[in-house]
Structure 1
Amino acid sequence: MAISDLQLPSNVNTHTLADSTALAQNLATDVAARLDRAIERNGRACVVLSGGRSPVPFLERLAQQPLDWSKVTVSLADERWVPVEHDDSNANLLAKHLLQGAAAQATFIGLYQPAADLDSAAELADAALAELPPIDVLVLGMGDDGHTASLFPGSPNLAEGLARESARRCLPMLAPSVPHQRLSLTRALLASADFTALSIQGQGKLAALRAALDSDEQRMPIHAFLQDPLDIYWCP
């Protein structure tokens, strides 16, 4: 099955790449070009990225792009509520694979906050995100269960997290099937991005995307983002 076989909404563009190396390079080039245009237009740019292991090649190629990184703000779509030194920290992932060399000049706004509990941490992260400029580029991933960011099916705060309008920028979230409590940007903030890319690889993710098209946002939260303009980058 190819992504062209899916009945996607007309506002969804697809990019089929030969392999994961080509996907990482093409996505990095396209993201950098949009950030560069935002800098020319507004004097600054903002990109919100997703964590996990599959984005590592993309992050490393993005770090090599010839941008004026001093004018770029970087943040995360979600975070595990663990200290930034932890191996599972998305902030740690960006520090190792993106914020190196010239890219270290970027301003980073993280989500992790030490606090007495997850709710308090989310409130502190929400306040920190008040400094986030308008999002020029958002790069999402997707789990086999249809979650994106840390908007997991079955999480107690999912309905609030998926609301089109919300005063909250960040919410506490639970991933029912995996360890660690989470912090996630809300759909209201994520959907404000000027350009949104979804990066997925393999037949398994393609099957999950097909299921999401026939599902709803409560069962497969990625469904919510298929209703808005979106560019999907996929390789077999």
Structure 2
Amino acid sequence: MAISDLQLPAGVVTHSLSNSTQLANKLAADVADALGSAIAEKGRATLVVSGGRSPVAFFEALARQPLQWSSVVVSLADERWVPTTHADSNEGLVRRHLLQGPAAAAQMFGLYSSAASLEAAAVAADQALEDLPPIDVLVLGMGDDGHTASLFPNSPNLLEALAPDAERRCLPMLAPSVPHQRLTMTLALLATAKRTLLAIQGQSKLSTLAQALEPDERALMPVRAFLQPPLEIYWCA
């Protein structure tokens, strides 16, 4: 199966690449172009990314792009509630693989805080996100269960997080794997991104995407909330 075989909504753009290296390079070039355009237009640009293992090659390719990095703000669609020095920290991942060389001049806007509880950390992140500049580029991934960011099926706060008119910008979430405790931007904030890109690799993810395109409840596969224009999907086998 190829991504061209899927019945995607009109207006959703797809990019089919031959391998993971080509995907990382194409995604990095396109993100850099969008950030550069935003800087030229308004003097700054905001990029929101997800963590996990998949985006490492993309982060490293993006770090090599010639950008006015001091005018870029980088934030996270979601975060694990662990210190930024922890191996599972998304912020730590971004700092190790993206904010290197000239890209180290970018401003990191993290979600983690060492609060007394996960809810307290989410409230602190929610308040801090009031100062996040408008999102120019959002880069998402997708799990085999159809989650994106840390919008996991069956998480207690999922319905609130998926509400288009949610008042909160950040909510605590529970993942089915360790570490269980997460922070995630809500759909209400993520949906404000000027440009949304979804990067997936492999046949299993393509099968998950095909399932997510079937008409059913968003809560069963939260990525459904993003499968509409102006989404762009980057895929390689």
Residues of 2 paired with 1:24 and 1:177: CA distance? 26
> What is the TM-score of this pair, normalised by structure 2?
0.98
Q: Deviations over 1:68-118 (max 9, x none)?
A: 000000000000000000000000000100011111111111000111110
- Give percent identity, aligned residues only: 66
Asked whether the equivalents of residues 10 and 229 of structure 2 are also in contact (C-alpha less than 8 Å), the reply is: no
Q: Which amino acid aligns with 2:11?
A: N
- Alpha-carbon distance in structure 1 between the residues aligned to 2:197 and 2:14: 10
Residue equivalent to 1:61: 61
Corresponding residue number in structure 1 for 2:172: 172
Structure 1: gaps of 5 or more residues: none
Distance in 2 (alpha carbons) for counterparts of 1:216 and 1:108:
34
Residue 32 of structure 2 corresponds to 32
CA contact (8 A) 1:216 1:224 kept: no
1:160-205 per-position Cα deviation (integer Å, ceiling 9, x unaligned): 1001112211000011344330000000100100000000000000
SS at match of 1:200: strand
Deviation at 1:228, TM superposition (A): 3.8
For 2:9 and 2:225, how far apart are their aligned partners in 1?
A: 12
Structure 1 position 127, deviation (Å)? 1.2
* Cα drift, residue 227 of structure 1: 2.9
How far apart are 1:40 and its partner, in Å?
0.4
Distance (whole Å) between structure 2 residues aligned to residue 11 and residue 171 of structure 1: 30
Q: Give the letter for the 2:220 counterpart.
A: R
Q: Distance in 1 between matches of 2:54 and 2:140?
A: 11
* Separation (CA, whole Å) in 1 of partners of 2:27 and 2:101: 20
Partner of 1:229: 230
Q: How does 1:131-146 map to 2 (within 5 A)?
A: 131-146=131-146
Q: How many pairs align?
A: 236
* Aligned equivalent of 2:213: 213
Alignment partner of 2:65: what SS?
A: coil
1:199 aligns with 2:206: no
CA distance in 1, matches of 2:175, 2:11: 30
Which residue identity lines up with residue 235 of structure 1 in the other structure?
C
1:227 aligns to what SS in structure 2?
coil
1:158 aligns to 2:158 (yes or no): yes
Question: 2:165 and 2:228 mapped to 1: Cα distance?
Answer: 15
Mapping 1:97-116, distance limit 5 Å: 97-116=97-116
TM-superposed CA distance for 1:19, in Å, is 0.2
Aligned-pair Cα RMSD in Å: 0.8
The answer as to whether partners of 1:3 and 1:234 remain within 8 angstroms in 2 is yes
Give every structure 1 segment of 4 or more consecutive aligned residues whose post-TM-superposition deviation is greater than 2 Å.
Answer: 176-180
**1:207-234: per-residue Cα shift (whole Å, max 9, x none)?**
0000111133110000010134200000
Letter in 1 for 2:116: A
Gaps of 5+ in 2: none
Any conservation in 2 of the 1:138–1:193 contact (CA below 8 Å)? yes
For 1:24 and 1:105, the matched residues in 2 are separated by 21
* Amino acid of the structure 2 residue aligned with 1:221: P
Contact 1:24/1:57 (CA < 8 Å) preserved in 2?
yes
1:71 aligns with 2:57: no
**Greater Cα shift, 74-83 or 125-134:** 125-134
Post-superposition CA distance 1:113-152 (Å, at most 9, x none) = 1111100000001111112100000000000000000000
